[in-house]
Structure 1
Amino acid sequence: METVRLGIIGCGGMGRYHGRRIIQTVPEAEIVALADPNADNLAQFITEVFPQGKQPEATFADYRAMLEAVELDGVIIISPHAHHFQQVMDSIDAGCHVLVEKPMVTRTEDAQAMIAHGRKHDRIISVAFPGPFTREFTYIREVIARGELGEIYLVTGVCAQDWISNVRGTWRTELALSGGGNLYDSGAHMFNAMLYLTGLSVTDVFAFIDNKDQEVDMIASVALRFTKGALGTATVSGDATVMEQGIYIQGTKGSIKTSIYGGELEHWNGKERVKYPVVPITTTLQQNFVDCIKGRDTTPSPPILGLRQARLMDAIYESARRGSMIRVMTDEE
């Protein structure tokens, strides 16, 4: 295999972002086909993403027609959250490797079925959380794995932004398509960071949620208990005046702060700040996907992260509905 042939399912704003990254930074890949039911999205993708005068081999209103008609090595799925499951399953059936936007799915049972399907057909599934592909997240994982923070006993996350002003009237505010509000949208980055960086699992949650007259959640406060006795909190707002977000991890020997997306880092060794942390070199999630297809790398964001997220989100929403603490199934069960 020389050039990796990719198809795009979903040509909206995030689809165009992934497209630009592929064309501008991944020379071994070529976007050969696009699928989106909205003709305007297809036209805008071609205009904004492809070099002047270049066209994909084919465009489709139905992704299933693309999978049937075009020979592809992989697909990138950037569609409404509730569509991810079937689109991933169909793509695997067509022999494609998959890079799917977060959240991977919106139901635990779908995550379990997707993982089993990928294993059965020996296809790669990589979840497009940007954090695990960053230098900062890799550094933090290594620091914690070496025991430099000691025993982790506090993990907190915050994600507050003027989300509703940007998404009002779009599919992101329709429960049937999004699976939830900002908890499942930008909040997905926060929850994934809390789990991925610490290597801990959540065992229990107690959640308060306020939709603020929207169909989906806008404000949420979640108390969490992790494995090994760690405690935590997560706060999400989709109606803030300014963007405020981050992760704080405290251990018996030190603490770390970072962004929910990576790109920022504060490391405290005891009471002394590590002034010049040496962060490892990493590749982008788009480059990593192509490297995985070529068999020269593995993804740091495998579908188990999507399963953990789905379990946690199912428990959070159930806790808010019942007004009680809910137990979360862990990987060990």
Structure 2
Amino acid sequence: MSKVLRIGMIGCGGNGRGHLKNLVSRGEVQVVALTEPSRAMLERARQEIPALAEVPAYANHRQMIKHNELDAVGISTPHTLHFRQVMDALEAGLHVFCEKPLTTSVAETRKVIAKSRRKRKVVVVAFQRRLHAMRRFMRSFVRDKAFGRPLFVQSFCSQGWLSGTRGTWRQKLALSGGGQLNDTGAHIVDMIFWTMPARPVEVTALIDNRGTEVDIDSAISYRFADGALGNISIVGSGPRNLFWEDMTIVGSSGQALFLRNGVLYASTGTETLEFKSFGRDGDRVGHFIDVIRGRARNESPPEDFLPTIAFTQACWKSAKLGGKPVKIRY
């Protein structure tokens, strides 16, 4: 591998441009090629990021991979396209940074895991919450012996997703693979698996598509392998001017942790504490580079995405069955 990490970016939409701005600001990285089928999106990326003015662009990721010397790719495209793009990059011997969801099925995720292991290449799923100092504090707090065994978990997320994504690929099942539960909701589900010491084993879900092709509002209850209970409310029909997220975890020792839209409280059983300082958050793109360079352990590998998509698929299945319980198959 060269001293400068040569990266090709697949997708120059809003998320893609955010990652590109991050990449071009790093001295040890060079963006050497782009894939973007939309001329308008490509021109917008070049206008916002002057460093991309002379970077060659392709309408197809396979052509980009074929005609450029690359070390890695970044992927920020409609969700159902991820699997083929990830697999082609790995087959070419490239490291992969991929927006969530990594894939839209358990079967696809297993194939990515097998391919990345066989090729011995890094795959990082862009779950930024895993690198947030507050979330890391929460994980340590819940897994401390003083907290006891987690008994109950409540997660809530409200977003104006229905109105905000109307008319876009996110509400087209063939491109998104699912709705709010598989989009912003993927972050919520991932935090449950990453924070809790046990995995959910059974789920029951009621979902309303609100007249669209994909899930918008989801009411989910589930049971962990160790007997703990949980529920998730994913509200995609919320107001556009307010994003809200809560999480509550109750432990057997009488302690509890309460996240209220970015503000964290803990109850010790005798007093309630508010935590305000957690240190510096990590950066997804920087983490990807550090993992490739051997400076960090991969905090978000494809193996960790498998439980999230397995849970999500079980929710969709339960909803189709009218809310009947469904075992989660990992």
Q: Are 1:312 and 2:288 counterparts? A: no
**Partner AA of 1:289 in structure 2:** F
Unaligned segments of structure 2, at least 5 residues: none
**What is the distance in 2 between the residues matched to 1:98 and 1:310?**
19
Count how many residue pairs are aligned between Structure 1 and Structure 2. Answer: 325
- 1:59 is matched with 57
CA RMSD of the aligned region, Å? 1.8
**Partner AA of 1:22 in structure 2:** L
- 1:29 is matched with 29
- 2:245 is matched with 245
**What is the distance in 1 between the residues matched to 2:277 and 2:82?**
37
Q: How big is the shift at 1:144? A: 2.6
**Partner AA of 1:40 in structure 2:** A
Unaligned segments of structure 1, at least 5 residues: none
Q: How big is the shift at 1:129? A: 0.8
User: For residues 65 and 157 of structure 1, do their structure 2 counterparts lie closer, same or farther at Cα, with a shift above 3 Å needed?
Assistant: same
Task: Report the TM-score when normalising by structure 1.
Answer: 0.92
- 1:43 is matched with 43
**What is the distance in 2 between the residues matched to 1:271 and 1:61?**
61
**What is the distance in 2 between the residues matched to 1:317 and 1:280?**
37
**Partner AA of 1:178 in structure 2:** S
**Partner AA of 1:308 in structure 2:** P
**Partner AA of 1:318 in structure 2:** K
SS in 2 for 1:105: coil
**What is the distance in 1 between the residues matched to 2:11 and 2:200?**
32
Task: Report the TM-score when normalising by structure 2.
Answer: 0.93
- 2:111 is matched with 113
**Partner AA of 1:44 in structure 2:** R
- 1:95 is matched with 93
Indicate if the aligned counterparts of 1:135 and 1:281 stay in contact, CA closer than 8 A: yes
**Partner AA of 1:312 in structure 2:** F
SS in 2 for 1:228: coil
**What is the distance in 1 between the residues matched to 2:263 and 2:11?**
30
Q: How big is the shift at 1:22? A: 2.1
**What is the distance in 2 between the residues matched to 1:270 and 1:20?**
46
Indicate if the aligned counterparts of 1:173 and 1:214 stay in contact, CA closer than 8 A: yes
Matches within 5 A, 1:154-303: 154-241=152-239, 242-253=242-253, 254-258=255-259, 264-276=263-275, 279=278, 281-303=280-302
User: For residues 245 and 56 of structure 1, do their structure 2 counterparts lie closer, same or farther at Cα, with a shift above 3 Å needed?
Assistant: farther
Q: How big is the shift at 1:278? A: 6.2
Matches within 5 A, 1:10-29: 10-24=11-25, 26-29=26-29
**What is the distance in 2 between the residues matched to 1:91 and 1:255?**
44
Indicate if the aligned counterparts of 1:8 and 1:33 stay in contact, CA closer than 8 A: yes
Indicate if the aligned counterparts of 1:132 and 1:138 stay in contact, CA closer than 8 A: yes
